[in-house]
């Protein structure tokens, strides 16, 4: 008998309201979808980020501990990407819209884009991704 973990995948999306957040570091929470081997949603859970880190890149290990293998984001900076990849979380960015619709797009083959949000401070930054 196969271990259930071998047949499932967890995909996280940072969000505000019902929408994928345009800026990873500003998200309110993460929605985590657990998918079957056939990409059917088995479970939906939520994970709140720490309020003391605006960049949220310290969450890479915590998301990995939750079993997250994939992150679908709007805009995200290189530092966060490096930390997520080091924690074995694959990152796809450039998404917008309702979280369930973004998940469906990704499952249909849309891998987003590779435009990284450039380094900036949180006040008055000019990032084209948001």
- pLDDT tens digits for 24-49? 877 878 999 999 999 999 999 999 86
> What percent of the chain is predicted at pLDDT more than 70?
75
Q: What is d(CA 86, CA 39) in angstroms, rounded to the nearest whole number?
A: 25
Answer yes or no: is 28 within a domain.
yes
Of all helices (H) and strands (E), which one includes residue 101?
helix 99-107
| Residue 56 near residue 108 (C-beta atoms within 8 A) | no
pLDDT of residue 5: 53
Q: And the tokens for 69? A: 């293998």
Tell me, yes or no, if the pTM score tops 0.85: no
CATH number at residue 60: 3.30.420.130
Q: How is 48-85 classified by DSSP, letter by letter? A: EPPTT-TT-GGGHHHHHHTTEEEEE-SB-BHHHHHHHH
Answer yes or no: is 122 within a domain.
no
Answer yes or no: is 115 within a domain.
no
| Residue 60 near residue 80 (C-beta atoms within 8 A) | yes
**3 state DSSP class of 11:** strand
Quote helix, strand, coil % in the chain, to nearest 5.
25, 30, 45
Answer yes or no: is 130 within a domain.
no
pLDDT tens digits, 38-82: 999 999 999 986 555 555 557 888 899 999 999 999 988 888 899
Answer yes or no: is 43 within a domain.
yes
Instruction: State the Cα angle at 100 between 99 and 102, rounded to 5°.
Output: 65
* Domain range for 15: 4-107
pLDDT of residue 28: 78
Answer yes or no: is 120 within a domain.
no
Answer yes or no: is 72 within a domain.
yes
Answer yes or no: is 38 within a domain.
yes
| Residue 108 near residue 95 (C-beta atoms within 8 A) | no
- Total domains in the chain come to 1
């Amino acid at each position: 008998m196969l271990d259930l973990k071998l047949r499932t995948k967890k995909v996280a999306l940072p969000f505000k309201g019902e929408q994928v957040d345009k800026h990873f570091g500003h998200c309110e929470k993460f929605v985590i979808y657990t998918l079957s081997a056939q990409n059917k949603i088995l479970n939906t859970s939520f994970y709140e980020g720490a309020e003391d880190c605006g960049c949220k890149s310290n969450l890479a290990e915590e998301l990995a501990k939750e079993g997250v293998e994939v992150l679908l984001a709007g805009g995200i900076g290189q530092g966060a990407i490096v930390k997520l990849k080091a924690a074995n979380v694959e990152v796809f960015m450039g998404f917008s819209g309702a979280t369930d619709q973004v998940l469906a797009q990704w499952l249909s083959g849309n891998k987003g884009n590779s435009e990284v949000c450039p380094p900036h401070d949180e006040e008055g930054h000019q990032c084209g991704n948001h």
